Amino acid sequence: MSTADDAPKAEMLDPPMLDPHQDPASLTAFAAYEQRLLAARRRFAESRFVTDVIGRKLDDARFEAFLMFFTALGVQMTRPVDSWIRRAGERCIAVGFTELGHALVKHAVHEAGHDALFEQDARSLVKRWNAKDSRHIDAAHLLTLPATAGVARYVQLHEETIAGPSPFAQIAIEYEIEQLSVTWGPHFIRTCAAVLGPDVSTCLTFVHDHVALDVGHTQFNRTQLGRFLTAHPASLAALAAAGAAALDAYGGYLSDCLELAAQRAYS
């Protein structure tokens, strides 16, 4: 077991830099949103993913088992993403939020096929494990696991948002989740390399790609969210509720992966 000498610090919770080109009204509306998200972001920062995985409280085998569940179940978390964004955009257009709706529809294609990265990573991690451990793991089994409570909650949140009265809240969900890659991704990658060795990076293509890709996506989400809030200030509560629910559901999925890694007694 390792101890964390680079444990997450409070400054990691700081909101990202705001776009200096955003107009002042947008910045004000945006600040109100950020304020409402503080509690949910802190819950995530205090979740077992951060304290136990990034904080290196797991032994190496359990850490590796966590990665296998994280990537295998991650396929279910990411496969519908482009469809969710496109359908939310189409509903926004249908109910009159045309600017955001068109932006979402256009952006959806940038998320297509990312589940293939997670699937490839799950298979690579299983292969890596099986090459050195007699407790054989079947990749096909991991990739066909039923949705956990956290995964189901995350899927349900999207479907309810798309079908409900606030399809525009998809932008808050995207903003919070893609921002996780930017905020926590680099720490997660460093911990993975420290625990399992730098060669594990070849099994973490999803995370590596998203740490880079989601900088731009987060900027896009922030700009769209700011514009929407400025034009529709009454949407603040719905946006903040969806953003917080997305963080809680994503934290639930990560906790489920930790629970599975413990139950399967791979350590």
- Which one, 208 or 217, has the nearer CB to Fe ion? 217
- Which one, 173 or 203, has the nearer CB to Fe ion? 173
Residue 76 near residue 155, CB atoms below 8 Å: yes
Q: Helix, strand, coil % (nearest 5) of the chain?
A: 80, 0, 20
What minimum distance in Å lies between the beta carbon of 208 and Fe ion? 12
Applying CB under 5 A, which of residues 114, 123, 153, 222 lies at the interface with Fe ion?
114
Question: In angstroms, rounded to a whole number, what is the distance separating the alpha carbons of residues 125 and 129?
Answer: 6
What minimum distance in Å lies between the beta carbon of 217 and Fe ion? 4
- Which one, 205 or 230, has the nearer CB to Fe ion? 205
Question: In angstroms, rounded to a whole number, what is the distance separating the alpha carbons of residues 138 and 120?
Answer: 14
What minimum distance in Å lies between the beta carbon of 140 and Fe ion? 24
Q: At what angle do helices 149-163 and 236-263 cross, to 10 degrees?
A: 160
What minimum distance in Å lies between the beta carbon of 55 and Fe ion? 25
What minimum distance in Å lies between the beta carbon of 90 and Fe ion? 19
- Which one, 217 or 222, has the nearer CB to Fe ion? 217
Question: In angstroms, rounded to a whole number, what is the distance separating the alpha carbons of residues 159 and 81?
Answer: 11
- Which one, 218 or 261, has the nearer CB to Fe ion? 218
Binding to Fe ion, residues 166-225 (CB under 5 A): 178, 214, 217
Tell me the window of 40-48, 88-96, 111-119, 140-148 that interacts with Fe ion (CB under 5 A): 111-119
Retrieve residue 151's tokens. Answer: 């995964």
Which residues have C-beta within 8 Å of that of residue 146, sequence separation ≥ 6? none
Tell me the window of 7-15, 22-30, 107-115, 138-146 that interacts with Fe ion (CB under 5 A): 107-115
Question: In angstroms, rounded to a whole number, what is the distance separating the alpha carbons of residues 244 and 227?
Answer: 20
What minimum distance in Å lies between the beta carbon of 112 and Fe ion? 9
Three-class DSSP category at 112: coil
Q: Which residues bind Fe ion (CB under 5 A)?
A: 111, 114, 178, 214, 217
